[in-house]
Chain A
Amino acid sequence: MSVAPAFARAREEGRAALVGYLPAGFPSVAGGIEALRVLVDAGCDVIEVGLPYSDPVMDGPTVQAAAQQALDGGVRTSDVLRTVEAVAATGTPTVVMTYWNPVERYGVERFAADLASAGGAGLITPDLTPDSGSGWVEAADRHDLDKIFLVAPSSTDERLAMTTSACRGFVYATAVMGVTGARATTSDLAPPLVARTREVTDLPIGVGLGVSTGAQAAEIAAYADGVIVGSALVRVLLDHPDDPPAGVRRLAQLTTELAEGVRRGGALRGDLARA
């Protein structure tokens, strides 16, 4: 499996792909699967399933709170894989976003094998760079999985080349120097990062960190191949703890708004190209 066909289809349609994130097990394993399917139905092209971890150094308060709730609820790594299987069954490419230690503990080879057999497309690794010497690149290649590493505004040109050459699927460009979380304005660091990244790779480039509205999605879709949204979706569910149906409705609304955003942004990109 790979996310490549989803990005290719979006490109054919002259737009960016919408990548939606929620942690597994939040608010429960079944509830998490249901929420992720809502993202699929409302227009996400790629799904990111978060693996809740006790020490998430790249996450802001929103994702931390959801992950903690999932861990308090007893979510296991096997539940994450079960979630992937249920979401991937919709036909929408599904990747796991995880800190490294849970994979190492599960067994790198075993994790790759079980993720592949669950129908997962690959892994996003926020605290693992390709030069860490983790064995992930080799295991992912053996099991035909995408390797999605992060690039940052602080990445040197040399590191951009090294990192993107190890990526498969897409490249995750972090729009800001900071952790996950919705921000009022889009980053002025993202466009130059995407431009620098394009110089060293032909892979699609997704931009994440801080995206929460359709307007922001449109703005990013004008220059990136993917718009990644996490905290804003998590926030919707956190804000409806006592009324899950209302949360799910609002989740669908926001996803629809974001899906429209990536299409508007694509049109904008077309205008720019013609200008």
Chain B
Amino acid sequence: MTGFDADERGWFGDFGGRFMPEALVAALDELTVAWQEAMADPAFVAEFEAVLRDYAGVPSRLYDATRFAEHAGCRILLKREDLNHTGAHKIRNVMGQALLTKRMGKTRVIAETGAGQHGVASATAAAYFGLDCTVYMGSVDTRRQALNVARMNLLGATVVPVDSGSATLKDAINEALRDWVASVDHTAYLFGTAAGPHPFPSMVRDFTRGIGDEARAQCLELTGRLPDAVAACVGGGSNAIGLFTAFLDDPEVAIHGYEAGGDGVDTGRHAATIVAGDSGVLHGARTYVLQDDDGQTIESHSISAGLDYPGVGPQHAHLAASGRATYHPVTDAEAMDALALLSRTEGIIPAIESAHALAGALRLAKELAAEKGPEATILVNLSGRGDKDMGTAIEWFGLDGAAAPTGGEGDVS
């Protein structure tokens, strides 16, 4: 592994570790051992790869987005995770964790979800492996995302609305942890992102790193060289760490993460945890946290539910602090412009999460093109598809009338 990996106690430099109730420590230790043994077992790795290949549609393709690139100024390659089963990179993580759950002999899984994407992926994995599944979801989100609640129900999962705190993703995590404290002997917690206590940040990274491993090889095959930069959106950071890991030891490849800037970082309504947060402890790890002067968590804001989280995975905190990766905010408006542009130029409607990476890449392309010319290449993780975001798009662009979205090419006839 790389010099940017965690030590045996889950510390990525000053970040990570394990800040958890003693009641869960034995289970986390058990999980750590099971995960390490599984990753060292060729049979487990082969089964994981087979499930992703035969069921989830992985490896995803690397796509040369030439028409989109005309607006960028340099070459843009898209890693098409949006084409995976359930429509995002998240299937990699849940299939890995659910396979591990089977191996550990547990019969039930729990998960938290914000907009419902990780909940749907977890319910899917549970159906595939024949596991009981309970998903915790903030009650505000269950109302906003009724379609995803129905999808989870159809897949056989129980969805529990969470009313405590701000009734959003962070509170759903709290409630899932409360369930887990009481059910840990037969239940696995399928954590949805590369955050939380050790071993989750490293384990989720291991299950998602195929994104970057595949993309690196695909890029070499397609272009004969490595990209000049890789770009991904960062909420908790699972798709980003999945892409970045393969490139950490390629110093010639710049690494850029794009956080949700919401209405703008200076407005206070955002989810740009690394850019504007402070070091603290949230959900079991030391990382950057949006918090007030007393260490109370501040509610985050983003048009993208998948990025709307006041913490971030500790490996990203470490990559930021060490300077290996750079993190920037992208506002709601910039992301929605990029969403419209990709839709119009390539016929691909991206998830709003992924649109943050696209918007970041458009910005980065100007700098790279100026520095290295139009042959410069940015590899962007198109982490999910935008079907789930049509409600937001309708509202944002006013699509139900005659009005057309701006930011794309004018003539669509």
Contact = CB atoms under 8 A, between A and B. Distances in A.
B165 A101 contact: no
Given A106-B294, A149-B22, A178-B181, A55 B283 contact: yes
B293 interface: yes
Contacts of A104: 280-281, 286, 295
B22 A129 contact: yes
B293 to A, nearest CB: 7
A158 B189 CA distance: 24
B296 A154 contact: no
B302 interface: no
Interface in A43-75: 53-58, 60-61, 64, 68, 71
B165 A127 contact: no
B17 A132 contact: yes
Nearest to A56: B174
Contacts of A174: 22-23
A55 B291 CA distance: 11
B177 interface: yes
Nearest to B291: A105
A152 B182 contact: no
Contact of A64 (B26, B164, B182, B296): B164
Contacts of A68: 164-165
Given A57-B178, A177-B181, A127 B20 contact: yes
B297 A55 contact: yes
Nearest to B311: A55
A54 B9 CA distance: 27
B202 to A, nearest CB: 17
B19 A152 contact: no
Interface centre among A76, A105, A128 (most CB of B within 10 A): A105
B296 A177 contact: no
A179 interface: yes
A167 B404 CA distance: 65
Interface in B1-42: 9, 11, 17-27
A87 B284 CA distance: 31
Contacts of B293: 105
B289 interface: yes
B22 A55 contact: no
Interface in B49-72: none
Interface string B158-195: 00000011000011001001100110110000000000
Contacts of B291: 101, 105
B8 to A, nearest CB: 12
Contacts of A151: 22
A55 B17 contact: no
Contact of A155 (B26, B178, B282): B26
A36 B94 CA distance: 47
Contact of B294 (A57, A77, A128, A150): A77
Nearest to B293: A105
B193 to A, nearest CB: 16
Contact of A154 (B17, B178, B184, B294): B184
Interface residues of A, number: 42
A55 B174 CA distance: 7
A100 B294 contact: no
Q: Is the interface of A mostly helix, strand, loop or mixed?
A: loop
A156 B164 contact: no
Given A133-B17, A178-B181, A179-B178, A101 B27 contact: no
A156 B26 contact: yes
Interface string A173-195: 01011110000000000000000
Contacts of A102: 294-296
B289 to A, nearest CB: 7
A94 interface: no
A159 interface: yes
B194 to A, nearest CB: 19
Contacts of A156: 26
Interface in B83-98: none
A104 B332 CA distance: 32
A54 B296 contact: yes
Interface string B293-320: 1111100000000000000000000000
Contacts of B24: 154
Contacts of A32: none
A101 B184 contact: no
A126 interface: yes
Contact of A101 (B17, B177, B295): B295
A102 B292 CA distance: 10
A54 B165 contact: yes
B282 A55 contact: yes
Contacts of A105: 278, 280, 291, 293-295
Contacts of B11: 133
A124 to B, nearest CB: 12
A163 interface: yes
B23 A129 contact: no
B1 to A, nearest CB: 21
Interface of B: 9, 11, 17-27, 164-165, 170-171, 174, 177-178, 181-182, 184-185, 278, 280-284, 286, 289, 291, 293-297
9 contacts: A54-B165, A55-B297, A57-B181, A68-B164, A105-B280, A127-B19, A128-B19, A129-B25, A153-B23
Given A55-B283, A132-B18, 11 more contacts: A100-B19, A101-B291, A102-B295, A102-B296, A104-B281, A106-B294, A106-B295, A127-B19, A129-B22, A133-B9, A149-B22
